[in-house]
């Protein structure tokens, strides 16, 4: 109970928010909009899982939004060139992994701070994409949207994929050696090294894995519409960092649970629809998101300070 206090308090906040919405905006719970809300958040959940691992290893990656756009457009172009979906998906994952490897090589290989490296790659990928594509949409052939299934079957496929991935990763971070390496690295890199973990290699792998997850998420996003928006994924980095931080992942590394990230993401996902149902203008969303990030880190900061004293 104590061990999960942080995650449980987020879950309680989510429950309160849902009860509030039930009373003040019952329309929120109509099955169809709720299903499409969850479908929209499925790719975000996949990216948020990766971001949680990155933050647990005491790094950060703010280039995921740009990576997402590059992977989406890349996957869209391949699909438009009539590649079979079974090949487009690994290709998208590979594109993401390569971009993750660039970050990883700079951070782990040259020991540069991840915030500045990923700030640079964020802008480089985005501007390169804008330059090459001039903001054009990619029209997808038939059979790509919802993987050629019916809409509701496609939606459920995406949601279940995200949840299965979440479960696997949650188990892996708890029980697999590789998962524990990430926590060890984030808690104390020097101690991890003395315990026989190779810190630089682990960091590199975390960034590559992050990129691969972004590639998968981009594919899950491409499958949701008949066109690929080259601006898709803008602001994604803030959204997933917020989800991770709200869900109890400590920015100082070494602490956090993936199910907490899931609950944090659900809580954040409620904001936008709640705003519309409560007749607050949607322009407040970004400000509220920033305020929530700050509140979450302040709460963690106060808690660690109290524990110390």
Partner 1 sequence: MNTDKHGFKDILLRHETILLFVVLLEWFYFNAVGPRFGSVDNTFDIARHSVEIGLLALVMTPIILTGGIDLSVGSLLGLCAILFGKLWRDAGLPIPVAAACTVVIGALAGGLNAALITRLRLPPLIVTLGTFSLFRGLAEAITRGADTFTNFPTAFLFLGQERWLGIPAQAFIFIVVAVGVWLLVHRTTFGRSFRAIGFAPEGARYAGIPVDRRVAFAYVLAGVVAALAAIIYTARLGQAKADAGTGYELFAITAVVLGGTSIFGGVGSVHGTLLGVAAIAVLNNGLVHARQPREVAGMLTGLLLILALSSSVIPKLLATLRGRRQNPKSKPNIQQTNTA
Binder among 27, 29, 34, 111 for partner 1 (CB under 8 A): 111
Is residue 286 involved in binding partner 1 (CB under 8 A)?
A: yes
**Greatest pairwise CA separation for the chain in angstroms:** 62
Distance, CA of 290 to CA of 241 (rounded, Å): 10
Toward partner 1, which CB reaches closer, 22 or 130?
Answer: 130
For residue 133, how many other CB atoms are within 10 A of its CB? 16
Task: Give the torsion sign (CA, 228, 141, 146, 92).
Answer: negative
Q: How far is the CB of 263 from partner 1 (least distance, A)?
A: 20
Toward partner 1, which CB reaches closer, 132 or 168?
Answer: 132
Is residue 106 involved in binding partner 1 (CB under 8 A)?
A: yes
Letters for 126-165 (x = contact with partner 1 by CB under 8 A, - = none) are xxx-xx----------------------------------
Binding residues for partner 1, rule CB under 8 A, total 45
3-state secondary structure of 25: coil
What does the DSSP 8-state code read for residue 141?
A: P
Interior/surface letters 224-252, b for 16+ CB within 10 angstroms, e for the rest: beeebbbebbeebbbbbbbbbbbbbbbbe
Q: Quick one: three-class SS letters along 218-281? A: HHHHHCCCCEECCCCCCCHHHHHHHHHHHCCCCCCCCCCCHHHHHHHHHHHHCHHHHHHHCCCC
Q: Which of the ranges 17-25, 125-133, 165-173, 180-188 carries the binding residues for partner 1, by CB under 8 A?
A: 125-133
Is residue 287 involved in binding partner 1 (CB under 8 A)?
A: yes
82 Cβ contact list (under 8 Å, min separation 6): 141
Q: How far is the CB of 70 from partner 1 (least distance, A)?
A: 13
Toward partner 1, which CB reaches closer, 48 or 91?
Answer: 48
Burial of 264 (0-12, 13-18, 19+ CB in 10 A): buried
**Backbone φ, ψ for residue 281 (5° rounding):** -65, 145
Is residue 201 involved in binding partner 1 (CB under 8 A)?
A: no
Binder among 26, 33, 113, 148 for partner 1 (CB under 8 A): 113
Toward partner 1, which CB reaches closer, 38 or 122?
Answer: 122
User: What is the radius of gyration, based on Cα positions, of the chain?
Assistant: 19
Binder among 252, 272, 273, 277 for partner 1 (CB under 8 A): 252
Q: Which of the ranges 40-48, 148-156, 175-183, 293-301 carries the binding residues for partner 1, by CB under 8 A?
A: 293-301
Q: How far is the CB of 18 from partner 1 (least distance, A)?
A: 24
Toward partner 1, which CB reaches closer, 19 or 298?
Answer: 298
Residues between 255 and 284 with contacts to partner 1, criterion CB under 8 A: 281, 283-284
For residue 138, how many other CB atoms are within 10 A of its CB? 19
Is residue 188 involved in binding partner 1 (CB under 8 A)?
A: no
CA angle 13, 1, 183 (to 5 degrees): 90
Q: Which residues of this protein are in contact with partner 1, per CB under 8 A?
A: 60, 62, 106, 110-113, 115-117, 119-124, 126-128, 130-131, 190, 238, 241-242, 245, 251-252, 281, 283-291, 293-294, 297-298, 301-302, 305
């Amino acid at each position: 109970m104590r061990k999960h206090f942080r995650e449980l308090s987020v879950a309680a906040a989510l429950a309160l928010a849902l009860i509030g919405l039930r009373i003040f905006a019952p329309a929120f719970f109509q099955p169809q909009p709720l299903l499409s809300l969850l479908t929209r958040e499925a790719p975000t959940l996949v990216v948020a899982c990766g971001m949680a691992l990155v933050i647990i290893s005491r790094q950060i990656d703010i280039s995921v939004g740009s990576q997402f756009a590059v992977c989406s457009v890349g996957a869209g172009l391949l699909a438009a060139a009539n590649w079979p979906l079974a090949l487009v998906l690994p290709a998208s994952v590979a594109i993401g992994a390569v971009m993750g490897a660039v970050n990883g090589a700079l951070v782990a290989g040259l020991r540069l701070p991840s915030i500045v490296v990923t700030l640079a790659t964020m802008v480089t990928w985005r501007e390169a994409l804008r330059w090459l594509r001039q903001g054009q949409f990619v029209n997808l052939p038939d059979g790509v949207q919802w993987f050629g299934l019916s809409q509701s079957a496609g939606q459920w496929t995406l949601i279940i994929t995200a949840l299965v991935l979440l479960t696997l990763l949650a188990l892996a971070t708890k029980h697999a050696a590789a998962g524990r390496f990430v926590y060890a690295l984030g808690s104390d890199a020097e101690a991890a090294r003395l315990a026989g973990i190779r810190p630089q290699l682990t960091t590199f792998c975390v960034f590559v894995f992050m990129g691969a997850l972004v590639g998968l998420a981009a594919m899950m996003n491409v499958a949701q519409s008949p066109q690929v928006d080259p601006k898709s994924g803008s602001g994604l980095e803030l959204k997933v960092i917020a989800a991770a931080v709200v869900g109890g992942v400590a920015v100082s590394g070494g602490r956090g649970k993936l199910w907490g990230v899931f609950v944090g993401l659900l809580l954040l996902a409620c904001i936008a629809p709640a705003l519309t149902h409560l007749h607050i203008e949607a322009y407040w969303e970004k400000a509220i998101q920033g305020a929530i990030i700050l509140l979450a880190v302040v709460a963690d900061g106060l808690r660690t300070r109290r524990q110390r004293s």
